[in-house]
Every structure is written in structure tokens, then in C-alpha cells.
Chain A
């Protein structure tokens, strides 16, 4: 047993956050190397499709993070925004025949308005709600949206046309559908946009301040009401666009929102709730791990992985990989 005397410092002192990140990085690296060594092109295929799904999780997780950091509310209806986005896209593009770019903008806009009005009508008047209240209200909302969608669109799974062709191309023996490129591109675009918004714009900087300390932020003129509204708007837009761009690959039905929301939440926890880069990291890694495990084990257990990861992370490091201790209350 090695014993350290008092005052003796280890040569390299990593901060706690970097330490967690490096352990995570090593695990991810090992997992990927093992997968590639064992399965070669199939392994690469898994990683690619894992990243595709992971990007979607990342987008949804960012929505969770934005709302949580500014209002301390977990929005259980986040997945439903994605479902509504996909459904509206189907209606506008396949049913009404509006060209894809316009119907994309139109559907995101409608879902955003729904999200913002929900915040104004229900969350905002509550002022300082308890955890159980918020959980139940947002669950009630998600049930409501799901029921309305089932009523309008029925229980069929609907297929949306891919944005540009269906012909897959091959990279290193793995095939990739063009829609995946759209997903990667859009996720990157959204991340950059979020970065610019939170680091350059006044509202975004105010929201970051409010996330750190709501009272102090409101003293220097950051309105908590605006912060909350903007957060819900961003989350709804992110959720809707995630639901739309994944729809050509995974199809859309009235009940896709549940799983998307839960996986998005698991990603947000994994990366660090309330911290947007953490959401991206969490989403991508959850997508890859899930796809690899679905490849190795019977795929029915795939969904259990996300929750197992969620519970393990919550127990070992509740603030997530990139989160900081003080973010926990």
C-alpha cells in the first residue's frame, strides 16, 4: 500500500474536470479501438451510425441544457418538440408538397411558437415551482402533445423524403446515407450558432450570467422572464429541427418523442446538465455506445443501455463529465 505523506503533491495535478474528461477520453478511445480491431468495417459502420444518432441526441440534449441552466426546469416535453417537428415536416413536405427548405423553416417556426407560448402561458405564471410540480406539468404537456398528434396523424409511422437522394456512398467499407451528412452539418451549424449566441450576443451573455447566479444577473438588468422565454424558444427550435432531420432515417410516429426525449436527457446528464458543450459530448458518446452495444448484444436491450449509463453517471458523478460541482444544488 502506497502512502503519501502530508504535503507531498502529486507531480501532475489535473483539475477535477480535466481528470474526468481524460478518463472518459481514454474509455472512449479504448472502446473505439477494440470495436475497430474486432469488427473492422462493421465496427466503423457502427461508429458512423452511432455518431448520426448521437448528433440528434446532442441537439435535444442542448435543448434540455439551455432550459435547465436558465430556469432550473427539466422539460419532459422536449422529445415531443422533435415529434411535432417531424410530423409537421411530413405534412408540409409530403402531404402539401411545399419544397423541403420552406417546409423545414415553417415546421421549426410553428414548433418554436408552440414552445414559446407554452412557456408564457404555463411555466412563466408559476414563478418558483417545486420539482414535482414542474415534472408533472411538463409530463402532462408531453402526454397532451402525443395524444393530439395521435388524433391528427394516427398511429402509422410516416416516412419523410431524404433531403438529397437516398443513394449511400462508401467510406472505408462502411456506407453512409447522404442524410447523415445533413445531420452532421446541421449539428455543427447549430453548435456554432449556439456558441456565437452565448458568447457574442448581449442576450446570450445575459443568459449565461443568469445561469451562474439569477439574483445577481437580474440586479444588473438581465430579465429572468426574457431569459426563460428565450431558453424555451431555443430548446423548441433545437428539438424541432432534430426531429425533422432524423425523420428520413428513423421515420416518425406519434410516440417517437418519448425515447428521443429520454435519450436526450440521458446525454445531457452524461455530459453535464446545464452545460452546452457537455450536452454535445454526452449525445455523441451515448449514440456511439448504444449503437455498438446494439451490434454486439441482442438489440432489444439497446434502450436499456442509455438508462444504465444514466444511473451509473448519476451515482458516480452526478454533475456529468464536464459539469462542475457547484452546479448541483
Chain B
């Protein structure tokens, strides 16, 4: 592994490249609602903008989790609880007090999540490996049981309905189209933030403690401090996602913050690519589109027998298999594969160009 403490010329070149990719990628994502309208709904049988908003919401959480798992190497199986804290903050505050602005609810959710993750993170992050996985899983389950049982606050399994739509200074973001331009800029900002953070002293410290905690401490990295900070940061990102989730769904109930949602986040991180900022977004887009694609399949193939196209039954089977297959054959995720594919395509192009120019040269001779 290369030393993270020296900055090379090639790295500087990469920096510009990253920003270029970022600009290109964000333009591509932000233009989706514009061209998605051109595709008639009765052809693809899914609401692309709707799914994209949801995947943007998940992206917020997954970007944070990717920092924690991919860069710092600390696993968490309980992030759904922070998602829930964000969502319930918005839901409770905005339904109890009608004057309460929903955007403030999102911020308060982030603050509550900050406080809880700070208190919890410090002791829990002393654990490593499987023990950390189990402790965070326990936290997630306790949070879920709290959401379900504290009926006085969260209304239990009934859930909180009629959450007002997001309004920022009088502008109502009541349609998916409008919400898209709130959710995705936030997700992309969080991504830009984490992209820059990773190439800073902080990010190098994280990667150092990922490869060896002892070595990092010897090099002067306060590992427990950095681990807590990255944990808190990922919790806050997730809570922001949760707050947006509440104003998107306009309805919350404990099922949306179950253990399986933590696993969904983890799957997004893995499918996209561990330790790759684009991976978080790619993973969440793919995993959010997957159920809609599966439910749209019967419409796409109407000539096939119903028992074969009724993929609703197989969604979970597929999901489990995907997780296993990705971990075995593609542990670096789709983003890495795309990168490799892109660079090898570039190399291939260059080789062809060289060959052509060589041929031209020979002809001239």
C-alpha cells in the first residue's frame, strides 16, 4: 500500500480529474427529471423521478456509511436507527406544531443524531470486527424497538401520517420534481464534502487506521477521536437522509427503520464499491431501482407466463444472492469495475489511435 502521507504529482493530476468527474456526474444526475418526462410512463411502468428522489435520500445515508466502512474500516449494522431519528424528528415536530418549519425539523434531526451518536460512538467504537458489528446491531435493534414501543411519542406501529411537505421560506416542495432538486443537491454537496475530506489530513488518518490501528497510533493519529468523528459524521448524514425521507413519504412507521434497512444501506455500499465516493451513489441508485424494475418486469414481458414474470416473489431471493455474489466475485463494487472498464477503454482507444497513426506513417513512407 502506498504511503498516504506524501502527495505526488500524479495525485494532483487526479484531483482535477475528480472534480471533472464530479461535475460531469452531477450534471448527468441533475438532468434526469428533464429527460425522464420524455419517456412515457406506460412504456417503462415506473416513475423514474420518484425512484431517483428515493435513491438520492438513500445516497445521503450511504455516503456517510461509506466513509465509515470503506475508509475507516469500521462496520455498522445499526445505521437505520439514525435514519429513523432524522425521520421521526421531522414527523413528530411538524405534526405536533403546525407552525414548525419542516426544514428546521431536518436540521434538528441531524443535531439529535449528532448528540446520540457522539454519546454512543465513543464507547462502542472501542470494539473491533465482529464485536463492533454486533454492538451496532444491538443499538439498531434497541432503536427499532423504541420506535415501535414508545407509542406516546412515535405512535408505534400505526405510524405518523399527514406529514406536511417540505417548505423552505414559503416555497412548497410538494411534487417529486421539486423535491428532486432539493434532495440531489444536498446529496451531491455531502458527496463533495466527503470527497474533499478524504484527500485531507483527516482522510489520510482514516485510511491509515483502516490498514492498521496500531501503526496509525504510532504515527501520531488519535484513532479513537478520528473513529468517533467519522461515526458521528456518518450518523448526521444518515439523519439528514432520514429527515428528507419523512417529507418524501409524508408517512413514517417503524418498519422503515428496521434492521433490514441497515442491511440495505450496507448492500448499497458494497454493491457500489467500498471506499469509493461514487460507489455510494451508484450503489444506492442501483439498489433503489432494482425493486421497481422487478415489479415492472411483468409489463415488459406480457407474453411470458404469469408464474415466471411474477418476480415479486423472487425480490428477496435475488437480493440475498446479489449480496453473496458481489462479495465473492466483485468485492470492490460496480464503481471500481466502471473505473477499470473506463481506463481500459481509454487504453484500448489509445492503442487503436497509435496503430492508425503508425499505419499512416508507413503508408507515407
Check: B133 CB closer than 8 A to any chain A CB: yes
Q: In whole angstroms, how far apart are the Cα atoms of A125 and B324 in the complex?
A: 13
Closest CB of chain B to A262's CB: distance in Å?
A: 7
A136 touches B146 (CB 8 A): no
Q: Of B138, B267, B315, which one neighbours A310 at CB under 8 angstroms?
A: B138
Residues of B within 8 A of A136 (CB): 266-267, 270, 323, 327
Residues of A within 8 A of B138 (CB): 266, 307-308, 310-311, 314
Residues of A within 8 A of B314 (CB): 147, 151
Residues of B within 8 A of A307 (CB): 137-139, 141-142, 145
Closest CB of chain B to A189's CB: distance in Å?
A: 29
A298 touches B134 (CB 8 A): no
Which A residue's beta carbon lies closest to that of B128?
Answer: A329
Q: In whole angstroms, how far apart are the Cα atoms of A265 and B259 in the complex?
A: 15
Residues of A within 8 A of B123 (CB): 315
Question: A140 and B142 in contact (CB under 8 A), knowing A258-B259, A265-B134, A301-B149?
Answer: no
Interface residues of B in 254-289 (CB under 8 A from A): 259, 263, 266-267, 270, 274
Residues of A within 8 A of B327 (CB): 133, 136-137, 140
Q: In whole angstroms, how far apart are the Cα atoms of A126 and B324 in the complex?
A: 12
Check: B316 CB closer than 8 A to any chain A CB: yes
Residues of A within 8 A of B100 (CB): none
Q: In whole angstroms, how far apart are the Cα atoms of A150 and B138 in the complex?
A: 25
Interface residues of A in 120-139 (CB under 8 A from B): 122, 125-126, 131-133, 135-137, 139
Question: A143 and B263 in contact (CB under 8 A), knowing A303-B145, A311-B124?
Answer: yes
Q: In whole angstroms, how far apart are the Cα atoms of A318 and B323 in the complex?
A: 29
Residues of A within 8 A of B137 (CB): 262, 307
Residues of B within 8 A of A150 (CB): 313, 316
Interface residues of A in 282-329 (CB under 8 A from B): 298, 300-301, 303-304, 307-308, 310-311, 314-315, 318, 328-329
B134 touches A310 (CB 8 A): yes
Residues of B within 8 A of A314 (CB): 124, 127, 131, 134-135, 138
Which B residue's beta carbon lies closest to that of A146?
Answer: B316
Q: Of A122, A262, A298, which one neighbours B324 at CB under 8 angstroms?
A: A122
Residues of B within 8 A of A258 (CB): 259
Interface residues of B in 32-61 (CB under 8 A from A): none
Interface residues of B in 299-319 (CB under 8 A from A): 313-317, 319
Check: A110 CB closer than 8 A to any chain B CB: no
Q: Of B135, B270, B315, B317, which one neighbours A148 at CB under 8 angstroms?
A: B317
A304 touches B324 (CB 8 A): no
A135 touches B130 (CB 8 A): yes
B316 touches A147 (CB 8 A): yes
Q: In whole angstroms, how far apart are the Cα atoms of A310 and B77 in the complex?
A: 14
Check: A179 CB closer than 8 A to any chain B CB: no
Q: In whole angstroms, how far apart are the Cα atoms of A125 and B322 in the complex?
A: 18
Question: A141 and B320 in contact (CB under 8 A), knowing A122-B328, A132-B69, A329-B129?
Answer: yes
B328 touches A303 (CB 8 A): no
A311 touches B331 (CB 8 A): no
Check: A89 CB closer than 8 A to any chain B CB: no
B142 touches A139 (CB 8 A): no
Residues of B within 8 A of A145 (CB): 320
Which B residue's beta carbon lies closest to that of A148?
Answer: B317
Question: A131 and B324 in contact (CB under 8 A), knowing A144-B317, A150-B316, A310-B138?
Answer: no
Question: A304 and B130 in contact (CB under 8 A), knowing A136-B266, A136-B270, A315-B123?
Answer: no
Question: A135 and B75 in contact (CB under 8 A), knowing A143-B320, A315-B124?
Answer: yes
Closest CB of chain A to B115's CB: distance in Å?
A: 18
Question: A300 and B130 in contact (CB under 8 A), knowing A140-B323, A150-B316, A315-B123?
Answer: no
A135 touches B133 (CB 8 A): yes
Check: B12 CB closer than 8 A to any chain A CB: no
Which A residue's beta carbon lies closest to that of B151?
Answer: A300
Question: A147 and B133 in contact (CB under 8 A), knowing A132-B69, A132-B274?
Answer: no
Which B residue's beta carbon lies closest to that of A297?
Answer: B149
Residues of B within 8 A of A236 (CB): none
Residues of B within 8 A of A303 (CB): 141, 145
Closest CB of chain B to A270's CB: distance in Å?
A: 11
Which B residue's beta carbon lies closest to that of A77?
Answer: B320
Q: Of A141, A147, A311, which one neighbours B135 at CB under 8 angstroms?
A: A311
Q: In whole angstroms, how far apart are the Cα atoms of A239 and B273 in the complex?
A: 33
Kindly supply a per-residue 1/0 record for chain A positions 251-266, scoring 1 wherever the CB is within 8 Å of any chain B CB and 0 otherwise. Answer: 0000000100010011
Check: A245 CB closer than 8 A to any chain B CB: no
Residues of A within 8 A of B141 (CB): 262, 303-304, 307
Residues of A within 8 A of B259 (CB): 258
A269 touches B331 (CB 8 A): no
B321 touches A298 (CB 8 A): no
Check: B148 CB closer than 8 A to any chain A CB: yes
Question: A143 and B149 in contact (CB under 8 A), knowing A137-B328, A304-B141, A314-B134?
Answer: no
Question: A131 and B142 in contact (CB under 8 A), knowing A140-B324, A146-B316, A298-B149?
Answer: no
Closest CB of chain B to A293's CB: distance in Å?
A: 13
Kindly supply a per-residue 1/0 record for chain B positions 313-355, scoring 1 wherever the CB is within 8 Å of any chain A CB and 0 otherwise. Answer: 1111101111110011001000000000000000000000000
Question: A310 and B328 in contact (CB under 8 A), knowing A132-B69, A315-B123?
Answer: no
Check: A142 CB closer than 8 A to any chain B CB: yes
Q: In whole angstroms, how far apart are the Cα atoms of A266 and B139 in the complex?
A: 13
Which B residue's beta carbon lies closest to that of A311?
Answer: B138
10 contacts between A and B (CB under 8 A): A125-B328, A137-B323, A137-B328, A143-B320, A144-B317, A144-B320, A151-B313, A308-B142, A311-B124, A314-B124
Interface residue ranges, B against A (CB under 8 Å): 69, 75, 77, 123-124, 126-131, 133-135, 137-139, 141-142, 145-146, 148-149, 259, 263, 266-267, 270, 274, 313-317, 319-324, 327-328, 331
The 10 lowest CB-CB distance pairs between A and B, nearest first, are A140-B323, A144-B320, A147-B316, A143-B320, A307-B138, A140-B324, A300-B149, A147-B317, A304-B145, A131-B129
